[in-house]
Amino acid sequence: MKRKGNPSSKKSELSKRVKIEGKLKNGGSSASGSGEVITRNGGGGKQQNLRLNSPIKAEKKSQAKSSSKFGKKAKAKGLGGDITFRGVRNDGKHQSMVDLICLKNIFAVQLPKMPRSYIVRLVLDRKHLSLALCKDGRIIGGICFRPFNKQGFAEIVFCAVTATEQVRGFGTLLMNHLKEYVKPMGVEYFLTYADNFAIGYFKKQGFTKQVTMDPERWTRYIKDYDGGTLMECKISKLIDYTQINTILDQQRDCVLKQIRQISSSHVLYEGLKVFRDKTKASSNGSMKKIALADIKGVLEAGWEPGMRNSAPPCADNRHPKIRQLQAKFGVVLKKLAQHEASWPFREPVDRSYTNYYEIITQPMDLSTMEGRLNKFEYVSKSHFFGDFHLMINNCRRFNPPASQYYKCANTLEEAFTKLTKDLKIDDE
């Protein structure tokens, strides 16, 4: 690892880092699982020499402003623990090195395709900063980025949350706090190179594939990556991203208030009791009919006598056994979609990831299976099972055994086997 600084101090600093890393072992990261976010990029290498950024002292000043806001005071509730955020940089202090090594370990586990030497170099590089996400005092995720203050943008290098805390909203929470964290630095845009599995996450965070920033501001500062998609996010100074949920709730309440002034859809009426009253039954034992106009809320909704149904009832001509079998398939798909290991399989792989479709000629995912089920295409167990195993085998064929996707495939396959056995689909 190459670092700039006093040559006489290089050996002692490196020895210090090695000792810290040896004590930390895994640094709180999980040994398996997949990251909620995967992105690969970096600002190291040759373009560090092209940087026309403000002096290091100016950077430290802006970073100090952000740190004062995002120290112990930055907390979030409702996620099962005491959630805090803190900015970390390689300032040579013991605690900073401990935090950076913890983040390095999480990135290394959640991004197995990324060379570990590359992760170490960027995380410990003094031009890069990190925002650590802590739960009950333990680091469970973070984002490593490099700010280009004079150019007004920052490049997101790594972003990950440990496997045991995924699919709980921590990724969105982390990104929202990062947006507030970089505002005092003069950062107006985020740029990142995202791989296929990270594009969906970044879209939810406000990133787009269309880069609107002037190319002169960024083209000489970040490196281009094969297989990655460049994405941009503009940071608004008018929005407090840490309060985004509160803002959305207020907007929703305002819209509902306006709707209620012109609609009665929010009014609840008392339910029918005639079907519970046995005295209402006719002499032959059948239930007496009730006029549609006597049902509370019908007339208020605008119904008038003489109106016809908008469409005739749909006839279900399926065989009872097929109907029962497809109902079980629906239960299986619903349970699989809710499984924590199913996130790589919920939607089709993005078409922009051409390398995937060159290798996988018959793609399959859970949403496609759900569409086929809704069209009643699964009339046998073999067809349904075949599509599921096609999806799993595609994942194993494209990804190495040590990757988080391969492990997710194994976990989901075990869940599928247990579900079908519990529902006795194997006996159909």
Strand 153-161 to 189-194 pairing: parallel
Q: Are 345 and 365 in contact (CB under 8 A)?
A: yes
Alpha-carbon separation of residue 17 from 20, 21, 132, 138 (angstroms): 5, 6, 19, 20
Give the strands of the sheet with 129-135, arranged side by side. Answer: 75-76, 83-89, 129-135, 138-148, 153-161, 189-194, 229-234
CA distance 232 to 235: 10
Please name the residues in contact with 422: beta carbons below 8 A apart, sequence gap of 6 or more. none
First to last CA, the chain: 60
How far apart are alpha carbons 110 and 126 in whole angstroms?
A: 23
Q: Which residues lie across from 132 on neighbouring strands? A: 86, 142
On the 0-12 / 13-18 / 19+ scale of CB atoms within 10 A, 64 is exposed
| Phi then psi dihedrals of residue 73, to 5 deg | -80, -20
- Neighbour count for residue 327 (Cβ, 10 Å): 11
- 21, 36, 59, 155: the active-site residue: 155
**The token pair that represents 329 in the structure block:** 């398939």
Output Rg (C-alpha) for the chain, integer angstroms: 28
Is position 155 annotated as part of the catalytic site? Answer: yes
Beta strands in 37-98 (DSSP E): 75-76, 83-89
How many angstroms from the chain centroid is the CA of residue 147?
23
Tokens of residue 322, six digits: 């097929």
Distance, in Å, from the CA atom of 123 to the CA atom of 191, rounded to the nearest integer, reads 17
Q: How far apart are CA 21 and CA 204, in angstroms?
A: 34
Enzyme catalytic residues? 155
